[in-house]
Amino acid sequence: LFTRLSPAMIESRLMLGAVAFLFLFCIALTLSPATRERSWDVEYRWTHWIGFVLWLVVFKTIQFTARKHFPDSDPYLLPVASIICGWGLLTIWRLVPEYGGRQTAWLVLGGIILVIGFRYWKGDHFIRKFKYLWLTAGLVLTALTIIFGTNPSGGAQKLWLGAFGLYFQPSEPLKLLLIVYFSAYFADRVAFKQNLIALTLPTAFVTGIVVILLVVQRDLGTATVFIFLYTCMIYIATGRKRYMLISVVILIGAAIAGYFLFDVVRLRIEAWINPWLDPSGRSYQIVQALLAVANGDLIGRGVGLGSPALVPVAISDFIFTSIAEETGLMGSLGFIALLAILVERGFRAAFHAEDKFKRYLAAGCSIYLGAQSIL
Query: What are the pLDDT digits (tens) for 88-104?
Result: 999 999 999 999 999 99
Compute the C-alpha angle 129/350/184, nearest 5°: 20
- Average pLDDT rounded to a whole number, residues 339-354: 94
- Average pLDDT rounded to a whole number, residues 303-317: 90
State how far the alpha carbon of 24 is from the alpha carbons of 41, 86, 90, 171, 320, in Å: 21, 12, 11, 36, 20
The C-alpha torsion from 13 through 18 and 21 to 27, rounded to 10°, is -110
pLDDT of residue 198: 66
Report d(CA 248, CA 255) in Å as an integer.
11
Report d(CA 325, CA 320) in Å as an integer.
9
pLDDT of residue 251: 74
Average pLDDT, the chain: 87
Query: What are the pLDDT digits (tens) for 325-346?
Result: 999 999 999 999 999 999 999 9
Report d(CA 3, CA 44) in Å as an integer.
43
- Average pLDDT rounded to a whole number, residues 190-207: 67
- Average pLDDT rounded to a whole number, residues 137-144: 87
Which burial class, exposed, middle or buried, applies to 369 when counting CB atoms under 10 A from its CB (0-12, 13-18, 19+)? middle
Report d(CA 372, CA 358) in Å as an integer.
21
Residue 257 has what DSSP assignment?
Answer: H
User: pTM of the entire structure?
Assistant: 0.88
165-176 burial string, b = 16+ CB within 10 Å, else e? Answer: eeeebbbeebbe
- Average pLDDT rounded to a whole number, residues 221-243: 82
**66 contacts: CB under 8 Å, gap ≥ 6:** 73, 78, 118
The pLDDT confidence band at residue 349, using thresholds 50, 70 and 90, is very high
Query: What are the pLDDT digits (tens) for 100-126?
Result: 999 999 999 999 999 998 888 776 777
Which has more pLDDT, 29 or 316?
29
Q: How many CA atoms does the CB half-sphere of 2 hold within 13 Å?
A: 9
